[in-house]
Amino acid sequence: MIPIAKPQLGEEEKQAVLEVLDSGMLAQGPRVKAFEEAFAAMCGVKYAIATSSGTTALHVALLAHGIGAGDEVITSAFTFIASANSILYTGARPVFVDIDPATFNLDPAKIEAAITPRTRAIMPVHLFGLTCDMGPIMELAAQYGLVVIEDACQAHGAEYRGRRAGSFGTGAFSLYPTKNITSAEGGMITTNDPVIDEKCRVLRQHGMRRRYYHDELGFNFRMTDVHAAIGLAQLGKLERFNAARIANAAFLNAHLTGVIPPVTPEGQRHVFHQYTVRVKGGQRDALAEHLKAHGVGSMVYYPVPIHQQTFYVNELGYDLQLPETEAAAAEVLSLPVHPALSPADLETIVAAVNSFDEV
Ligand SMILES: *Cc1c(COP(=O)(O)O)cnc(C)c1O
């Protein structure tokens, strides 16, 4: 079976971990610092703050901007649950806006109508490795005085008009094993604002500026040096990994029939965290079964939009319709696009998808 995701770990990662173990310094230390500096450089920002996961990166980024009870944060419902849950953790309420059906990302034309006096932030989610349409989003944010927290958990190295994901507002990245690079578990916050940088560092470590003096409620959201060592080795391979994903996606785009392939709008660099097609005519699940029978793994990201998740409906009272989000959830299927695919794997994927037309 060709898997939908496959972490690429080699000798560099193994060696880096062994060096940390031999050093005896396991907790947040010099490797974390080096990883933060290299990650900031990759994004083209001044500061990066490592955390324990993408979820904690989002949580801390929101708190660092003072977002909490009584506030509203505009985001997408067509994303992993962590985008919206991180908003809930602060006491704020996620306000869901529908997506652009062509890109699966927040539709900027629908954001303004969702802004209320309680709106404090917009959280664009750069889904599947494609940045949101950041031009109009940043204009709206400036016009209404809103903070922008980018959920860049799937968009390491993605670009919009020459600028990298995570460099528009405050960015949050995940380093989970299936992401474009991994540290096993881990996250990273990116910012150009020295005040936000400092706040994130304090929140990550129990609200502590001076050792054992606690000025505010913080957390243990630190990254270990073991994880940072893996992440740093992976970061050195990110460009190669992304180039392979982009080439694999170009091959699939050129050869697949019977499905609607993903689009890359002019002026953007899509890094294909996922290669996600649409399957019309209610045939999505049948295609997934057909692929499985032909040795091709696939996955639905995401079958249930957040506003329809049980907890959001039953406990939080969400009751709204997002037609494009709901249509996407019913039609999307992600195919393998990861850097470990061989030319033969790509041929197998194409043959399996294209033979579905004929069954
Ligand atoms: C993976 C992911 C997260 C959460 O990251 P973790 O490292 O798993 O906590 C948040 N948002 C999106 C869009 C993601 O894909």
pLDDT digits (tens, 9 = 90+) for 225-262: 999 999 999 999 999 999 999 999 999 999 999 999 99
Distance CA 297, CA 333 (A): 10
Instruction: Look at residue 3 and tell me if it is in a domain.
Output: no
Sign of the alpha-carbon dihedral angle for 326, 328, 333, 337: negative
Q: Is 210 helix (H, G, I), strand (E, B) or coil?
A: strand
**Exposed (0-12), middle (13-18) or buried (19+): which is 297, by Cβ within 10 Å?**
middle
Same-domain pairing of 204 and 82: yes
CATH number at residue 350: 3.90.1150.10
CA atoms within 13 A on the CB side of 200: 31
Ligand 1, residue 53: give the atom nearest the CA. Answer: 7
Same-domain pairing of 188 and 216: yes
Residues of the chain with pLDDT > 70, as a percent, come to: 99
- Ligand 1 environment, Cβ below 6 A: 53-55, 79-80, 82-83, 125, 151, 153-154, 174, 176, 187
CATH number at residue 180: 3.40.640.10
Same-domain pairing of 39 and 98: yes
Instruction: Look at residue 5 and tell me if it is in a domain.
Output: no
Whose CA is closest to atom 7 on ligand 1?
54
Q: How far does residue 57's CA lie from ligand 1's centre (Å)?
A: 9
Distance CA 255, CA 74 (A): 37
pLDDT for residue 109 is more than 60? yes
Same-domain pairing of 138 and 229: yes
Matching residue, tokens 């061989």: 342
Task: Select from 154, 189, 230, 276 the residue to mutate for testing ligand 1; criterion: most ligand atoms less than 8 Å from CB.
Answer: 154
Matching residue, tokens 């405050």: 170
Q: How far does residue 171's CA lie from ligand 1's centre (Å)?
A: 12
**Exposed (0-12), middle (13-18) or buried (19+): which is 275, by Cβ within 10 Å?**
buried
Residue (of 234, 263, 244) closest to 173 by Cα position: 234
Matching residue, tokens 């020295």: 194
What mean pLDDT is predicted for residues 55-68? Answer: 98
Task: Select from 52, 55, 73, 106 the residue to mutate for testing ligand 1; criterion: most ligand atoms less than 8 Å from CB.
Answer: 55
pLDDT for residue 20 is more than 90? yes
Ligand 1, residue 125: give the atom nearest the CA. Answer: 13
Q: Would you tell me the crossing angle of helices 238-255 and 343-356 to the nearest 10 degrees?
A: 30
Residue (of 55, 51, 7, 11) closest to 177 by Cα position: 7
Boundary residue ending a domain (218, 235, 252): 235
Same-domain pairing of 190 and 277: no
pLDDT digits (tens, 9 = 90+) for 255-312: 999 999 999 999 999 999 999 999 999 999 999 999 999 999 999 999 999 999 999 9
Same-domain pairing of 74 and 24: yes
Instruction: Look at residue 216 and tell me if it is in a domain.
Output: yes
Residue (of 198, 214, 174) closest to 64 by Cα position: 198
Instruction: Look at residue 57 and tell me if it is in a domain.
Output: yes
Distance CA 339, CA 59 (A): 30
Same-domain pairing of 113 and 211: yes
Number of domains in the chain: 2
pLDDT for residue 358 is more than 80? no
Distance CA 119, CA 79 (A): 20
* Token pair listed for 94: 């996620």
Residues of the chain with pLDDT > 90, as a percent, come to: 99
Ligand 1, residue 82: give the atom nearest the CA. Answer: 10
| pLDDT computed for residue 88 by the predictor | 98
- The 159-160 sheet, strands edge to edge: 163-164, 159-160, 268-269
Boundary residue ending a domain (187, 216, 235): 235
Instruction: Look at residue 38 and tell me if it is in a domain.
Output: yes
Ligand 1, residue 179: give the atom nearest the CA. Answer: 1
Residue type at 200? C
Whose CA is closest to atom 5 on ligand 1?
54
Same-domain pairing of 334 and 349: yes
Q: What confidence tier does 357 reach under pLDDT thresholds 50, 70, 90?
A: confident
Distance CA 244, CA 121 (A): 34
Instruction: Look at residue 6 and tell me if it is in a domain.
Output: no
Instruction: Look at residue 4 and tell me if it is in a domain.
Output: no
pLDDT averaged over every residue in the chain: 97
Same-domain pairing of 108 and 202: yes
Report pTM. 0.98
pLDDT digits (tens, 9 = 90+) for 142-181: 999 999 999 999 999 999 999 999 999 999 999 999 999 9
Distance CA 245, CA 100 (A): 23
Q: Is 358 helix (H, G, I), strand (E, B) or coil?
A: coil
Same-domain pairing of 180 and 208: yes
R_g of the chain, CA atoms, integer Å: 20
**Which residues, listed in sequence order, are joined to residue 99 by a DSSP beta bridge?**
106
Same-domain pairing of 250 and 185: no
**Which residues, listed in sequence order, are joined to residue 204 by a DSSP beta bridge?**
none
Instruction: Look at residue 206 and tell me if it is in a domain.
Output: yes
Residue type at 293? A
Same-domain pairing of 154 and 264: no
Look up the domain containing 283 and give its range. Answer: 239-358
